[in-house]
Amino acid sequence: MTPSGCEWIVEARGCNEAALRDPVLLNVLFENLIDGMALHPVEPAMWHQFPGPGGITGMCLLAESHLACHTFPEYGSLCLNVFCCRSRNDYDFEACLKHAFGDAVEVRVRKLERPYGQPWN
- Residue 120: inside a domain, yes or no? no
- Residue 121: inside a domain, yes or no? no
- Residue 90: inside a domain, yes or no? yes
Please give the residue that has the higher pLDDT: either 83 or 3.
83
- Residue 118: inside a domain, yes or no? no
Does the predicted TM-score (pTM) go above 0.75? yes
pLDDT tens by residue, 71-111: 999 999 999 999 998 777 889 999 888 888 777 889 999 99
- Residue 73: inside a domain, yes or no? yes
Domain that holds residue 81: 11-110
Among candidate residues 4, 66, 70, 79, the one labeled active-site is 70
For residue 104, what is the domain's CATH number?
Answer: 3.60.90.10
**Coil, helix or strand at residue 115:** strand
Residue ranges of the alpha helices (H) in 55-103? 93-100
Among candidate residues 4, 66, 79, 85, the one labeled active-site is 85
- Residue 72: inside a domain, yes or no? yes
Q: How many domains does the chain have?
A: 1
* φ, ψ of residue 26 in degrees (nearest 5): -70, -35
Q: Give the span between the Cα atoms of 50 and 42, in whole angstroms.
A: 25
Answer yes or no: 65 catalytic.
yes
Answer yes or no: 70 catalytic.
yes
- Residue 2: inside a domain, yes or no? no
- Residue 115: inside a domain, yes or no? no
pLDDT tens by residue, 26-70: 999 999 999 999 999 999 999 999 998 899 999 999 999 999 999
